[in-house]
Amino acid sequence: MLPLGLLTAAQGHPMLVELKNGETLNGHLVNCDTWMNLTLKEVVQTSPEGDKFWRLPECYVRGNNIKYLRVPEEIIDIAREQQQHQQQHRQEGGQRGSRGGGQAGHSAGGRGGDRGGRGGGGQGRGGGRGHGRGRGGGGGGGRGQS
């Protein structure tokens, strides 16, 4: 299980965040992103010495300042359930999310397929003008070709 999967499952739940500077934040996770930036609400911030406390309605934590996170035990079970649910959807989905231009009536397969309606009459990449690739290619106007 990846850490971000655990964090997304922890949204709405209480957690403890210790920062690299020694401060701790206790609050409910509102949001997290792929850089592990967090938004917490109903936060109690504690000084590194543990002698001062501040109550904050909301707090934003940049991910690179986090030393560690502590989440409730039940979050692990929730994250596992979400992961299994996603795997089931992927298996049921089949080819729906695949790449390629799989349009009805076309068996072009692979990437792109036929890009109908993009310029000169249905030629593929690089075709359509009667020239080969590069200089003096297949057009007959080149130098001494045999």
Residue 42 pLDDT: 98
Strand order in the sheet with 24-32: 53-61, 38-46, 24-32, 14-19, 66-70
Q: For 14-43, what is each residue's pLDDT tens digit?
A: 999 999 999 999 999 999 999 999 999 999
Q: For 57-116, what is each residue's pLDDT tens digit?
A: 999 999 999 999 999 999 998 988 988 888 888 888 755 555 665 555 555 555 665 556
Report residue 48 as tokens. 């590194």
Distance in angstroms (rounded) separating the CA atoms of residues 50 and 22: 9
CB 28 within 8 A of CB 42: yes
Fold of 3-93: SH3 type barrels. (2.30.30)
Maximum mean pLDDT: which of 65-69, 113-117, 120-124, 128-132: 65-69
CB 14 within 8 A of CB 70: no
